[in-house]
């Protein structure tokens, strides 16, 4: 890492990493006793590289089992220095092939991967086909019925702004409040693939997957466009569609104040259909 920043306590160095991963083989991000999470694999790799007993990371946003990450951001404190390129190459040496550190940066102790995030971005990639996915199995969601673009676009716009999103909240959600501010909700299509993109101050547990269930019901004509507003207003999980598959969900990453000097996106951000 580069020379210690003046506002970092002597002997303590804070580093931020941008991490990408295929979540298909993992039980989500957050560490579990099984050790089969992305956080577990990353922290084990960091400990091996630094030769420390343990390294504890804090992330920008936890992802569920099967959900992928293109730019998960974490920070950690360690009592040693490394060049930023060394953090990338050294940590990747001990990571499995489906997890990779994309970048590393020195950050002040005032930086917090979760607390400093101004917004978070997700994309859901969906295959519309009478035949299930094969080559991209686990990397896209799937719907076999034809869908219409305009009804889904109109329904998505209903959700913009600050609302109580209780209708889209999992029962095990630990968020203090169901009120979130949805900044962007876009729907587009390229060939047989649909891309849904969302940006918000923060998201509730399963919020996007529950919204996806409703959008697909509308897009396939099973529900009218106005149903989305009714679901939102109901503030009840019972009013919404079933939770949709995690396969096509990607955490695109958080946004931060430019003063921190962190990348806005990471390699692979735009490869999705």
Region of poorest pLDDT, from 34-48, 56-70, 84-98, 254-268:
254-268
- What is the number of other CB atoms lying within 10 angstroms of the CB of residue 103? 19
The rounded radius of gyration (Å) of the Cα atoms in the chain is 20
Nearest to 17 by CA among 263, 252, 268: 263
pLDDT tops 70 at residue 197? yes
Q: What is the pLDDT of residue 59?
A: 96
Distance of CA 117 to the CA centre of its chain: 13
- For domain 119-250, the CATH class is alpha beta
Instruction: Tell which phi-psi region holds residue 28, choosing left (phi > 0), alpha (psi between -120 and 50) or beta.
Output: left
Every domain of the chain with CATH number 3.30.70.580 lies at 13-116
pLDDT band for position 221 (50/70/90)? very high
Percentage, residues of the chain above pLDDT 90: 89
Every domain of the chain with CATH number 3.30.70.660 lies at 119-250
pLDDT tops 90 at residue 86? yes
- For domain 13-116, the CATH class is alpha beta
Point out the residues that are catalytic. Answer: 64
pLDDT tops 90 at residue 240? yes
Q: What is the pLDDT of residue 58?
A: 97
d(CA 82, CA 136): 37
Across 41-49, average pLDDT: 97
């Amino acid at each position: 890492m580069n020379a210690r920043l003046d506002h970092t306590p002597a002997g303590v160095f804070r580093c931020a990493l941008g991490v990408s991963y295929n979540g298909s083989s993992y039980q989500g991000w957050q560490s579990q006793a099984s050790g089969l999470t992305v956080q577990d694999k990353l922290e084990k790799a960091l400990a091996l590289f630094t030769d420390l007993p343990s390294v504890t990371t804090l992330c920008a946003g936890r992802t569920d089992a099967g959900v992928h990450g293109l730019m998960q951001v974490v920070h950690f404190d360690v009592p040693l220095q490394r060049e930023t390129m060394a953090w990338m190459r050294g940590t990747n040496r001990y990571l499995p092939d489906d997890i990779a550190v994309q970048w590393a940066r020195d950050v002040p102790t005032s930086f917090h991967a979760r607390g400093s995030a101004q917004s978070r971005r997700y994309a859901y990639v969906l295959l519309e086909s009478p035949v299930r996915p094969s080559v991209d199995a686990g990397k896209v969601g799937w719907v076999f019925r034809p869908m219409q673009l305009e009804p889904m676009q109109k329904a998505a716009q209903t959700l913009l702004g600050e609302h109580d999103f209780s209708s889209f909240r999992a029962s095990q959600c630990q968020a203090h409040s169901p009120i979130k501010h949805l900044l962007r909700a876009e729907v587009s299509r390229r060939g047989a693939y649909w891309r849904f993109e969302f940006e918000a101050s923060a998201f509730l547990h399963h919020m996007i997957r529950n919204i996806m269930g409703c959008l697909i019901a509308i897009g396939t004509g099973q529900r009218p466009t106005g149903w989305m507003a009714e679901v939102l207003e109901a503030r009840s999980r019972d009013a919404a569609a079933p939770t949709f598959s995690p396969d096509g969900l990607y955490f695109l990453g958080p946004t931060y104040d430019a003063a921190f000097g962190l990348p806005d996106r990471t390699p692979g951000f735009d490869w999705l259909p």
